Structure 1
Amino acid sequence: MAVIHTWRTKDGTKTGRLTPLKAIQAKCLDCSCWSQREVRLCPVKLCPLWPFRTEKIYAQFLEQEGRVSDEPSK
């Protein structure tokens, strides 16, 4: 499921197709001052988004739900 939405980026805002995984990634980057390294090192395990941060974990979630990810594999 994807929606057209506007969200905050390092350089301002962006409008486009936003999937649940992209929304999580965008929020994690926002929270980590736009540092991908800080997202990977994130210690905030009480964050409700923490278990869904990576594509691998998200794919496992979709598999458990009986759905298929629409994200291309990396």
Structure 2
Amino acid sequence: MSGQGSSGNVIAALCNVFIPGLGHLIQGRLLAALFFFVSITVGYALYFLIIPAVFAAILHLIAIISAARYKPEE
């Protein structure tokens, strides 16, 4: 992937919309993918407590933006 705004980053951001962390996995960032997937999934699973669900929604948005703005080191 060439950099920010590339089609690879757009695809990664779209993957993150549907499955949190998948876009980071596509970009080759395993730890970020694992962190986002586990934390967002747990937050959404605890939706009945309200606060974890709100936290998960904000973290989900951060994951999408993070995948879209990723610029690999060269």
Q: TM-score, normalised by structure 1?
A: 0.31
Q: Which has the higher strand share?
A: 1
Q: Which has the higher helix share?
A: 2
